[in-house]
């Protein structure tokens, strides 16, 4: 009848309450409250021990030397900037850090405005300088349970230099004098691979720069395109099936969004495979909310390119439909609406049955946000027109849920929405509607009967198993 009761009082009136001690804080508060808002910063994992102080010999400014000497000086400055400083030690090498900062600034300006500076020897030196500065092993994340939605991101300590290096590299790639045919010797697959690994950086500012860099490289180096796509593939697959942790998914998807936009028709098998085997499974990841907008954009891009992909996409979403996470369910419904907005009627017919079976489950979800999101479909004119055209198929699928919800749902707003939907159906196809209303009861009874038959079948099977198990210890004679 009843088990032990927890200790809180029911007889409140007679129970003197102990005053809770204010100074004692227990571990139940939300993370965001618990953690004082502190700026955390991290440095790369490369400084193993403090060495001696770094000395760089100051060089004259580029603008102060005659033009013919500038390329030479430019190279020297690039070489100086290969020196990397430890920013976690805020007191060391202050002068030299400042010197490098101003040199980098000067280099940024120089590649932006100068002409004729990009000699062939400059390419390897630029790539070397960039590599020395940006390529590093990212340090461990501060906590295993880093929650990107709640926690402040850890910022890169060496950003004052790093930002300028990225800035410089982007200006270099965008420079009118930049020649991919020379650069491709240095900006190769290995370079790209290291660049992609940096997308895991926790610092959003860095990921933003990386996005631009990768986009430029994709645009200028045709020979690297397939490779870049394949490596992004691998990063996503690892993210979905192995680690569930990678900070730069949204940024990579953003780049892909514009890449997909440029795909030629008909789509290559490789691209279709990417859609079905990589993008769709990305929906299963726990942290979906962090990149869902970008992901949905990519999916819709694909469908606008090739409507025949609608069926596999929707089937994929239905396969991975969230079972327990209502927030994700709402996101799925949102994405599905985006897809339905561009669906072709011929495609819709192919997928309507499984699709509306799911929608019917969503409509009857006890979580009102899920039910509400699904019911909003009936406010969408295009979707309404598709439903109307196919009401003879959709209405029987939806009817039982709607009818039940209109009587049982706890949330009055949902009940009101359901009435509107029922009304719409009634106007669309009143004959069928009346029929379904009339047979609702007997249909339910038929279902119950089927249920009972199933139980009996299984019971018989179990008896059989028991008998045989007893007789021959699991080994079955024929």
Partner 1 sequence: MAGADGDDSLYPIAVLIDELRNEDVQLRLNSIKKLSTIALALGVERTRTELLPFLTDTIYDEDEVLLALAEQLGNFTMLVGGPEFVHCLLPPLESLATVEETVVRDKAVESLRKISQEHSPVDLEVHFEPLVKRLASGDWFTSRTSACGLFSVCYPRVSSTVKAEIRQHFRTLCSDDTPMVRRAAASKLGEFAKVLELEYVKTDIIPLFTALASDEQDSVRLLAVEACVSIATLLPQEDLETLVMPTLRQAAEDKSWRVRYMVADKFSELQKAVGPEITKNDLVPAFQNLLKDCEAEVRAAAANKVKEFCENLPEDNREQIIMSHILPCVKELVSDTNQHVKSALASVIMGLSTILGKDNTIEHLLPLFLTQLKDECPEVRLNIISNLDCVNEVIGIRQLSQSLLPAIVELAEDAKWRVRLAIIEYMPLLAGQLGVEFFDEKLNTLCMAWLIDHVYAIREAATSNLTKLVEKFGAEWAQNTIVPKVLGMANDPNYLHRMTTLFCINALSEACGQEITTKQMLPVVLKMSNDQVANVRFNVAKSLQKIGPVLDSNALQTEVKPVLEKLSSDSDMDVKYFAQEAISVLALA
Interface residues with partner 1 (CB under 8 A)? 1-2, 5, 7, 9-11, 14-18, 20-21, 23-27, 45-49, 137, 139-140, 190, 193, 234, 237-238, 241-242, 277, 281, 319, 357, 454, 457-458, 460-462, 464-465, 467-468, 474-476, 478
CB of 197 to partner 1, least distance (A): 8
C-beta of 145 vs 242, nearer to partner 1:
242
Measure the CA–CA gap between 346 and 349, rounded to whole angstroms: 5
Q: Give the up-direction half-sphere exposure of residue 203: CA atoms within 13 A in the CB hemisphere.
A: 22
In angstroms, the Cα distances linking 297 to 183, 207, 315 are: 32, 19, 18
CB of 431 to partner 1, least distance (A): 26
CB of 460 to partner 1, least distance (A): 7
C-beta of 34 vs 185, nearer to partner 1:
34
Measure the CA–CA gap between 411 and 415, rounded to whole angstroms: 7
Let me know: does 178 contact 169? Beta carbons within 8 Å: no
Structure tokens belonging to residue 169: 């590299």
CB of 157 to partner 1, least distance (A): 13
CB of 458 to partner 1, least distance (A): 7
CB of 5 to partner 1, least distance (A): 7
**Residue tagged 């709402």 (tokens):** 330
Structure tokens belonging to residue 418: 């359901």
CB of 429 to partner 1, least distance (A): 23
Dihedral over Cα of 218, 219, 225, 229: its sign: positive
CB of 69 to partner 1, least distance (A): 37
CB of 113 to partner 1, least distance (A): 37
C-beta of 120 vs 242, nearer to partner 1:
242
Measure the CA–CA gap between 333 and 329, rounded to whole angstroms: 6
C-beta of 185 vs 459, nearer to partner 1:
459
CA neighbor of 39 nearest in space, from 143, 156, 134, 140: 156
C-beta of 147 vs 453, nearer to partner 1:
453
Measure the CA–CA gap between 318 and 320, rounded to whole angstroms: 5
C-beta of 24 vs 52, nearer to partner 1:
24
C-beta of 265 vs 476, nearer to partner 1:
476
CB of 4 to partner 1, least distance (A): 8
Measure the CA–CA gap between 181 and 123, rounded to whole angstroms: 11
In 95-175, beta strands by DSSP E = 155-156
In angstroms, the Cα distances linking 52 to 64, 86, 101, 185 are: 32, 12, 20, 35
CB of 140 to partner 1, least distance (A): 5
CB of 35 to partner 1, least distance (A): 15
Let me know: does 234 contact 240? Beta carbons within 8 Å: no
C-beta of 180 vs 281, nearer to partner 1:
281
Measure the CA–CA gap between 465 and 245, rounded to whole angstroms: 46
C-beta of 7 vs 181, nearer to partner 1:
7
In angstroms, the Cα distances linking 276 to 270, 280, 281 are: 10, 5, 8
Measure the CA–CA gap between 263 and 247, rounded to whole angstroms: 26
C-beta of 241 vs 419, nearer to partner 1:
241
Measure the CA–CA gap between 234 and 240, rounded to whole angstroms: 10
C-beta of 55 vs 242, nearer to partner 1:
242
**Residue tagged 């009339």 (tokens):** 438
CA neighbor of 402 nearest in space, from 359, 447, 451, 445: 359
C-beta of 45 vs 112, nearer to partner 1:
45
Instruction: Show Cβ contacts of residue 11 under 8 Å, excluding neighbours closer than 6 positions.
Output: none
CA 209 from chain centre, in angstroms, equals 18
Taking the CB of residue 317, how many other CB atoms lie within 10 A of it? 19
């Amino acid at each position: 009848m009843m088990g032990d009761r927890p200790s809180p009082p029911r007889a409140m009136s007679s129970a003197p309450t102990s005053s809770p001690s204010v100074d004692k804080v227990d571990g139940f508060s939300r993370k965001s409250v618990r953690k004082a808002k502190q700026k955390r910063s991290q440095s790369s994992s490369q400084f193993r021990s403090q060495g001696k102080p770094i000395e760089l010999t100051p060089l004259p400014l580029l603008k102060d030397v005659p033009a013919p000497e500038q390329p030479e000086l430019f190279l020297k400055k690039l070489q100086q900037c290969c020196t990397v400083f430890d920013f976690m030690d805020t007191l060391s090498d202050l002068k030299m850090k400042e010197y490098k900062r101003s040199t980098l600034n000067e280099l940024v300006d120089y590649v932006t405005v100068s002409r004729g500076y990009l000699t062939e020897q400059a390419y390897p030196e630029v790539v070397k300088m960039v590599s020395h500065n940006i390529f590093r092993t990212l340090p461990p994340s501060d906590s295993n349970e880093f929650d990107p939605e709640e926690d402040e991101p850890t910022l890169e300590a060496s950003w004052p230099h790093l930002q300028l290096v990225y800035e410089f590299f982007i200006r270099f790639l965008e420079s009118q004098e930049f020649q991919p045919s020379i650069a491709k010797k240095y900006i190769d697959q290995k370079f790209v691979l290291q660049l992609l690994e940096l997308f895991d950086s926790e610092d959003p500012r860095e990921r933003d720069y990386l996005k631009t860099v990768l986009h430029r490289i994709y645009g200028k180096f045709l020979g690297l395109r397939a490779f870049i796509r394949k490596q992004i593939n691998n990063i996503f697959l690892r993210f979905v099936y192995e680690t569930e942790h990678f900070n730069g998914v949204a940024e990579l998807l953003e780049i892909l969004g514009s890449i997909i936009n440029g795909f030629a028709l008909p789509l290559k098998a490789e691209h279709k495979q990417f859609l079905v085997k990589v993008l769709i499974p990305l929906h299963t990841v726990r942290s979906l909310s962090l990149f869902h907008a970008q992901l949905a954009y990519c999916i819709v891009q694909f469908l606008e390119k090739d409507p025949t992909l609608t069926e596999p996409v929707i089937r994929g979403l239905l396969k991975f439909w969230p079972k327990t996470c209502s927030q994700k369910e709402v996101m799925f419904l949102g994405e599905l609406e985006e897809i339905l907005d561009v669906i072709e009627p011929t495609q819709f017919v192919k997928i309507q049955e499984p699709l509306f079976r799911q929608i019917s489950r969503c409509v009857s979800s006890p979580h009102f946000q899920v039910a509400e999101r699904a019911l909003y479909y009936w406010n969408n004119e295009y979707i309404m027109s598709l439903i109307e055209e196919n009401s003879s198929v959709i209405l029987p699928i939806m009817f039982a849920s709607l009818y039940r919800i209109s009587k049982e749902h706890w949330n009055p707003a949902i009940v009101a929405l359901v009435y509107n939907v029922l009304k719409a159906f009634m106007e669309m196809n009143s004959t069928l509607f009346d029929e379904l209303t009339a047979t609702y009861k007997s249909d339910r009874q038929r279902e119950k009967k089927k249920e009972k038959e199933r139980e009996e079948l299984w019971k018989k099977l179990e008896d059989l198993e028991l008998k045989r198990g007893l007789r021959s210890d699991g080994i079955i004679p024929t």
